[in-house]
Amino acid sequence: MTTTFEPNTITTTPKRTTTISRRLPAVGVVALLILALVAPYYFYPFLLMKLMCMALMAASFNLLFGYGGMLSFGHAAFIGSAAYIAGYAAKEMHLSPILAIILGMAAATVVGWLFGLVAIRRRGIQFAMITLALAQLVYFIFLQAPFTHGEDGLQDIPRGTVLGFLNLGNSLTMYYFILAFTVAGFLFVYRMVNSPFGQVVIAIRDNEARATSLGYNVHGYKLAVLMIAAAIAGLGGALKALLFQIATLNDATYLASTEVVIVAVVGGIGTMVGPIAGAAAVVGLDWFFAESEFPVMVINGLVFMACVLLFRQGIVGTIAAAFEKRRAQGTEESKDA
């Protein structure tokens, strides 16, 4: 067996997934951090920043689906609300970027809570369909609401300054600003998944009936995860609004939700670094095909189809499985010897 994540089935694999990420050599994490610190000197900071925003959104999806067993097709609602609210706070209320981000995340959390009220009792495919429909509802609200400026969107959102002297208009400053939030976001998800709370969430994913009979407030836990995931997606959306200095309806369409799904699944569901790998893959493809005539949408779709058919564990899952296999073979050989 592999470390594929299959919700609602009783398998022993999910535990292995978490142990893999736990055992993932600290060296690798440190290397990744150093890479992130020096990367903007060697690569377009803008693309890297976009990558981080995407990774945060996908981390949220991954938390919800990979660990919580809830397949969300409505991430656009969280991202869109955070982008609009953060943008509005920064532009119209002249708030500092950090406050704007916090307000954006709060808005996304509220949307997540409302989604939960409607959908939390539904599982699997129904949950996906309902979140998709609710996100479409949110889209229409944004389309009608005056403060979003309809088709034009909120333009010229100021990036502002942090702590009075860090001007986010500078692309390197902005880069480290986003990096700090991304690292914090991932640390938070990591801590949460490996906390007792996270273990209960995973137990609910694996067997909801059993968790209920053990006396856990299953719907309460699921709602909490949904709200946390919404907040993290909101963080990605708010950062993106500041980065691009615009918040538009595009962030709220079903295609925005779809992009998050693709990034997370391609990267590897149920793995900690999957969202980063997925974001890198999608941003990379985007960049690679930017010059060509061929639509990126088609490329993304094809990659995603191939991924679902052939590499369901995603980039990180496939690599981890290969390592695991080699390690297992190694121990087997040493046993024989």
The footprint of other proteins (CB under 8 A) covers 4, 6-9, 71, 117-119, 121-126, 128-130, 132-134, 136-137, 140-141, 144, 254, 258, 261-262, 265, 293-298, 300-305, 307-309, 312
Using the minimum distance from each CB to other proteins, give the nearer residue, 69 or 237. Answer: 69
Q: Coil, helix or strand for 57?
A: helix
CB atoms near residue 14 (< 10 Å):
23
User: Shortest distance, CB of residue 5 to other proteins, whole angstroms?
Assistant: 9
User: Shortest distance, CB of residue 250 to other proteins, whole angstroms?
Assistant: 13
Using the minimum distance from each CB to other proteins, give the nearer residue, 48 or 77. Answer: 77
Whether 314 contacts 271, CB under 8 Å: yes
Using the minimum distance from each CB to other proteins, give the nearer residue, 48 or 264. Answer: 264
Beta bridge partners of 247: 154
Secondary structure letter of residue 166 according to DSSP? E
CA distances from 175 to 53, 99, 148, 188 (A): 11, 18, 26, 20
User: Shortest distance, CB of residue 29 to other proteins, whole angstroms?
Assistant: 29
Using the minimum distance from each CB to other proteins, give the nearer residue, 45 or 153. Answer: 153
User: Shortest distance, CB of residue 36 to other proteins, whole angstroms?
Assistant: 29
List for the chain the helix, strand, coil content (%; round to 5).
75, 0, 25
Using the minimum distance from each CB to other proteins, give the nearer residue, 136 or 248. Answer: 136
Using the minimum distance from each CB to other proteins, give the nearer residue, 33 or 118. Answer: 118
User: Shortest distance, CB of residue 175 to other proteins, whole angstroms?
Assistant: 30
Whether 123 contacts 208, CB under 8 Å: yes
Using the minimum distance from each CB to other proteins, give the nearer residue, 127 or 175. Answer: 127
User: Shortest distance, CB of residue 312 to other proteins, whole angstroms?
Assistant: 7
Burial of 334 (0-12, 13-18, 19+ CB in 10 A): exposed
User: Shortest distance, CB of residue 12 to other proteins, whole angstroms?
Assistant: 11
DSSP 199-257: HHHHHHHH-HHHHHHTT--HHHHHHHHHHHHHHHHHHHHHHHHHHHT-B-GGGGSHHHH
